[in-house]
Structure 1
């Protein structure tokens, strides 16, 4: 069962990653201005946030399987509409709907996966799911670029739409209908979301997701510019990003994934953030190709520590009744991080060096604040224990 759920995660992310290398050229071919191209590209992540939040409430109300099936069929429908687009305005509208409906997929898939996980093994479970995410990050852009260049861009959309319909049919028969009946009265969605945000460990997980993808947004925006400024071919940008993905996959899939259940999730999270910050600082001064590859290996190591720890933290501090909404918010913060990271660096028109340092500083500041928070929390617990002796 779990391997099949990981295939679902893989296809859910391939939808997003396969369009990274083709959407900007597609928008440009329709006559969109540079500013409008940026809006078209960012519209997917913008509407995806709302899809994540809506999906979270529906998952807890109707079950992850139903939301997942609806997400696959609706997203496949939106993908099929791309082949009829003839203006930039139409493309913008499709991107909005595509992002909205695809926002149902990842929270539903991870909720189903988390609910199938064993108690005390959620860290390893989330690490293994990271393998699926990493593989999609490697093959998705390559698939989109190769198919669009050798055949036609419409075949990218058609192929993924067919894959989603097929996996939805398989999911209907394979995934169990084992959602626990809700015995307590459901709160209005806004009240539940507020209560989730007010839970300290969940708030930390959400901010960790935002910080991770803020750095990822800066990296995606700045790394190609840095490679170009060093007079290396554009293919090296893809190779560098693949290096980071391969490093993360190795840590996710090898026995090293046991560390996620051996040590505290918040400790691994802070270590991962610090390592990513260090990698970005080193990237800001990188001037040779071997040095860039070393930096990306280090970045991939930090990513591999951070992603499973924040997702496992979320699973630990939710139950099956609130987990859907929590994952919805979690991936909304993911999308927001990408939008803010890439948009802010573009608006400020900073150099790649400044952009990397800016992202690293945000990660270091957040890591320092977390250290203070957990230190004070431990001191309060020690004082409470001493007073009761």
Structure 2
């Protein structure tokens, strides 16, 4: 538990730092002379360079543990933020954001693997993942508005310098406090949970099982696409002088996520129901943003955040079930790759099509496609994956 608390502290500081940039990156790029299409590529490039880092992280985290990669990600990203304070041209920002994408690609697989390895009990793992979501959301509640406020007081250069030193300090704290190896490699030896599913394996060829499992990586791809569209369009719709309003709206979305993440009893509901309801609710929120402009954006974003608070812990439980002993790093790496591809495709597509269709409608179509391609009720079939996933007593 001590390791989890330290990790939650570092995650809070890191997420605070990263989310504080969301309302200011687009106005900063516009101040350097970038247009909407270039901004879409800039945001997408950050996610595209996640891919080589994710591929390396999947193998290296399983082999060497999480600590060194957590420290590397935080310190390297902090140094790049210090350099970002001196960007003078749009391509400077593009290069630095691409480098940041690679550096931070190690952080999520390393943190999720370390959290998941702290216990062998599926319910406890679900609580750890919910705690991760709560910490992430708490940081994102205050950080967008805080980032916009810091820019208002200190300017872009002062803001990036402050955030950069914060990340470096967090990385040094992690070097001292995070253990070299997880206290218990519980997931590497789960005789009880793994023995029951083994009896079901002959009923389904291994190749079909693996292929079926891979289909679920489309889920984070479509969700990340829709989030990329939101982070691209929201600052543009508020204008260059709307940093504060953008920050407030993003904070409202995080408050909505916090409201549902605190409902711990949802961990006892099957992921199939949570995923289906959350995807539909998110899709309807994006449709409302695209078609009903008279509805207050703050209300819609609060509801969108509430749906995200239901969806992400359910996805975490899903991918824990897909990762067998000693392969959690690879599993979370593939999840991060899917999310990186989505976060690249979303802003780029929105930047190219913004003159023809509302980007929010693009996000609506993506989420509805996710529902059609990934029927959530198939998650509960024991032949597809871990039968204990939908068992509250597991």
Measure how far apart 1:341 and its partner are.
1.8
1:257-296 superposed matches below 5 A:
257-260=264-267, 262-290=268-296, 292-296=297-301
Q: Among 330, 344, 347, which residue is 2:335 paired with? A: 330
Residue 166 of structure 2 is aligned with which of 139, 163, 167? Answer: 163
Give TM-score scaled by structure 2 length: 0.80
Gaps of 5+ in 2: 189-206, 386-394
Q: Match for 1:248 among 238, 254, 257?
A: 257
Q: 1:200 to 1:350 in 2, by over 3 A?
A: farther
Q: Could you tell me whether the CA contact under 8 Å between 2:81 and 2:164 is conserved in 1?
A: yes
SS at match of 2:23: coil
- The equivalent residue for 2:368 is 364
Q: Secondary structure at the match of 1:131?
A: helix
Matches within 5 A, 1:208-219: 208-219=219-230
The reply on whether 1:200 has 2:212 as its aligned counterpart is: yes
User: Is the contact made by 2:256 and 2:302 (CA closer than 8 Å) also made in structure 1?
Assistant: yes
C-alpha change, 1:277 and 1:147, in structure 2 (3 Å) is same
Task: Give, in whole Å, the separation in 1 of the partners of 2:17 and 2:377.
Answer: 38
Which one of the candidate residues 339, 342, 346 is aligned to 2:351? 346
- Following TM superposition, by how much is the alpha carbon of 1:45 offset from its aligned partner in structure 2, in angstroms? 1.9
Q: Which of residues 172, 176, 180 in structure 2 aligns to 1:173?
A: 176
CA contact (8 A) 2:119 2:186 kept: no
Alignment match of 1:355 (pick from 356, 359, 377): 359
> Given the alignment, which residue of 64, 68, 77 partners 2:66?
64
1:50 matched to 2:59: no
1:223–1:355 CA distance, 2 compared to 1 (3 A): same
Question: Cα offset for 1:306?
Answer: 0.9
Count the aligned residue pairs: 360
Instruction: State the 1:340 CA deviation.
Output: 1.5
State the alpha-carbon separation in 2 of the partners of residues 380 and 323 from structure 1: 18
* Pair 1:220 & 2:235 matched: no
TM-score using structure 1 length: 0.80
> Unaligned stretches of 5+ in structure 1?
184-194, 382-389
- CA RMSD in angstroms comes to 3.3
1:275-310: CA deviations, max 9, x gaps?
1112222333323354x3432233222211111111
For 2:25 and 2:379, how far apart are their aligned partners in 1? 46
CA contact (8 A) 1:12 1:105 kept: no
8 Å CA contact 1:240–1:293 kept in 2: the answer is: yes
Q: Give distance in 1, aligned partners of 2:247 and 2:219.
A: 25
Q: Is the 8 A contact 1:283 1:295 kept in 2?
A: yes
